[in-house]
Copies of this chain bind each other. A is one copy, B any other.
Amino acid sequence: MDERKKQILKAVVEDYVISAEPVGSKSLIERHNLGVSSATIRHEMADLEAEGYLEKPYTSAGRIPSDKGYRSYVDELLEVGELPRTQAIAMRTMFKDSLVELTDLIRQATAVLSAQNDYVSLALTPKYANSRLRQVKLLMIEPGKVLVVVVLAAGLVKDRLVRISDQISGEQLDRLGKAIEEGLAGKKLSDITLVTVAGTVSGQPLADGLLNQVIYEAYVSIKQAEHLDLYVEGTHRLLAQPEYRDVDKAHRFMRALGEEKTIAGYIADLPAADDLACGRYLVRIGQEITLDGFEDTSFITSTYCVNGEVYGQIGVIGPRRMDYGRIISQIRFINRQLHEATSDAPHISKDNHEA
């Protein structure tokens, strides 16, 4: 693809992102000074279409970028700039880094991101499967009710309230908690099984039935610490996008967005999730997304890191016709904010099992 074709593709994408209307040869030369006439542009655009970078909605309309066109734009033509000052200030203002809890901070980052651009934004809490267990506490709340607190080395605290026979006393629970903690502290979450939990309390003087209850609940609580939470913000903003003037289309998409488990699973498995380089971003366009209902949207996700060691994904979902450059710099910015907020005054990673 020669230089001029690139310029034209870039111009088409950028105009289409703004107008949401197919862009024609004449309007192209009006907005960009390409130094050639519209007829030349027409030739070039016909070529670009033949090569699959552009599409025509109908015979005599202008062109819109195809998935391949967007891909090429994102990979080769887009130079991501710094965030404009006014936007940076706006975002910083919304971003209160006084929040103590990591969950709140991430959630807020998601909200800020979504508020800045009429797209949906979302964040996924870190994967903790490789994290190590640090503490387990069993706290008697009242006879029969026990709060299980699990603390990971990464700083995450999750807790869970369970019912356990009231024949177990507070002291016994305390002792059992200590035994489990002692036996499992330092182990990777993924290495902990029902059997290893059972092993830690085998010597305890307690009826098997009661012991099993405790083992089971402790195990489930530990396992739940791995659980991924997805925060989705700004779904309603999509309705401001021209592509969703069609209510049925909007409805289908919103329903798909409601499948949080599916989305969380998909995002967690994206290649970027394993690549631990902080701030790396990944763009998925249209058909590249193998997720029902997302065929004509785009994802931009990025790995964030907090406290210098745990990683999650934060990103934006919108129509394919998205302002990629703008979003990417916003995501970078919020990522940096997240990093700063957690590094100068280490934030606390607390979470819980609510989905």
Interface of A is mostly: mixed
| Pair B157/A348 contact, Cβ less than 8 Å | no
> A35-43, A237-245, A321-329: which lies at the B interface?
A237-245
| Pair B157/A141 contact, Cβ less than 8 Å | yes
State the CA gap A248–B250 with chains docked (Å).
12
User: What does the 1/0 interface line of A105-138 toward B look like (CB < 8 Å)?
Assistant: 0000000000000000000000000000011010
The chain B residue with its CB closest to the CB of A217 is B100
A120 to chain B, nearest CB (A): 12
State the CA gap A239–B255 with chains docked (Å).
10
**Contact with A100, one of B139, B163, B345, B352 (Cβ below 8 angstroms):** B163
Interface size class of A (residues with CB under 8 A): 35 or more
Oligomer: number of copies: 2
Residues of B within 8 A of A273 (CB): none
Determine if A149 is an interface residue (Cβ-Cβ < 8 Å).
yes
A275 to chain B, nearest CB (A): 28
Determine if A103 is an interface residue (Cβ-Cβ < 8 Å).
yes
State the CA gap A294–B345 with chains docked (Å).
42
Residues of B within 8 A of A134 (CB): 142
| Pair B103/A348 contact, Cβ less than 8 Å | no
27 contacts between A and B (CB under 8 A): A100-B161, A103-B354, A104-B354, A135-B141, A139-B139, A141-B155, A141-B157, A141-B348, A142-B151, A142-B155, A145-B155, A159-B159, A161-B348, A161-B350, A162-B348, A163-B345, A235-B254, A236-B254, A236-B255, A239-B250, A240-B251, A244-B247, A245-B247, A250-B250, A352-B352, A352-B354, A354-B354
Question: Which residues of A approach B to under 8 Å, CB–CB?
Answer: 100-101, 103-104, 134-135, 137, 139, 141-142, 144-145, 147, 149, 151, 155, 157, 159-163, 235-236, 239-240, 244-245, 247-248, 250-251, 254-255, 257-258, 345-346, 348, 350, 352, 354
